[in-house]
């Protein structure tokens, strides 16, 4: 009934309520509630407040989703840091002047696979064959440690190419480096912040 009134103090005593505190006094007195209770009460009293709360929740969820997507992008950006250094070295030292575009693409793909084999112990095609149901490629499923190592291997391979090392020798050196780097990166607490 509308005529019924229940004081906060009586409600707390009757229901053994938690999340509500009623204090007497001029300056520190008042009724204090857990934020969930306060939000529910304010939503009940004010439709405007309820609408604001719903809109704010939706905005926060959108921000959260963007951060999740950005986290993935950040990981992929890691692999692109030294990509240009790597492809420039390939273009300048491994690709003959008069070659078809198709053969040029094959040379770039072979060098990408040198990195894949050095780090993941398989080519991109071998990974796709083993993971036919997954979308994307081997690098899309790499963890942060592997992606950091991969970007380092790109710079190393570029230097090895400039030095004129054979692909076989480069692969051996890159694999040795990948093993050492992965051991070192696994113990690095700063990298965990990127996960």
Predicted confidence (pLDDT) at residue 111 exceeds the cutoff of 70: yes
Over residues 153-174, the pLDDT tens digits come to: 999 999 999 999 999 999 999 9
Per DSSP, the residues of 55-119 read HHHHHHHHHHHHHHHHHHHHHHHHHHTTHHHHHHHHHHHTS-SS--HHHHHHHHHHHHHHHHHHH
- Tell me the Ramachandran region of residue 65: left when phi exceeds 0, alpha when psi lies from -120 to 50, beta otherwise: alpha
Query: For residue 194, what pLDDT is reported?
Result: 58
Query: For residue 178, what pLDDT is reported?
Result: 96
Predicted confidence (pLDDT) at residue 109 exceeds the cutoff of 80: yes
pTM, rounded to two decimals? 0.61
More confident residue, 37 or 194: 37
Query: For residue 119, what pLDDT is reported?
Result: 97
pLDDT above 70 as % of the chain:
89
For residues 132-142, give the mean pLDDT. Answer: 89
State which H helix or E strand residue 128 sits in.
helix 124-130
Over residues 58-77, the pLDDT tens digits come to: 999 888 877 666 555 666 67
């Amino acid at each position: 009934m509308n005529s019924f009134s229940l004081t906060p103090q009586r409600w707390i005593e009757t229901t053994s309520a938690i999340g509500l505190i009623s204090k007497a006094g001029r300056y520190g007195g008042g009724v204090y509630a857990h934020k969930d209770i306060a939000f529910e009460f304010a939503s009940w009293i004010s439709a405007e407040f309820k609408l604001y709360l719903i809109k704010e929740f939706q905005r926060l969820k959108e921000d959260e989703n963007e951060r999740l997507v950005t986290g993935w992008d950040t990981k992929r950006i890691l692999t692109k840091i030294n990509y240009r250094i790597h492809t420039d070295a390939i273009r300048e030292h491994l690709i003959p002047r008069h070659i078809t575009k198709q053969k040029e693409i094959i040379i770039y793909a072979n060098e990408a696979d040198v990195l894949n084999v050095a780090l993941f112990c398989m080519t991109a095609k071998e990974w796709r064959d083993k993971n036919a149901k997954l979308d994307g490629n081997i690098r899309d499923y790499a963890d942060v440690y592997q992606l950091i190592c991969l970007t380092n291997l790109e710079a190393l391979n570029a230097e090895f190419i400039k030095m004129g090392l054979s692909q076989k020798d480069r692969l051996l050196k890159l694999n040795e480096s990948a093993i050492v780097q992965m051991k070192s990166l696994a113990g690095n607490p700063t990298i965990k912040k990127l996960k």
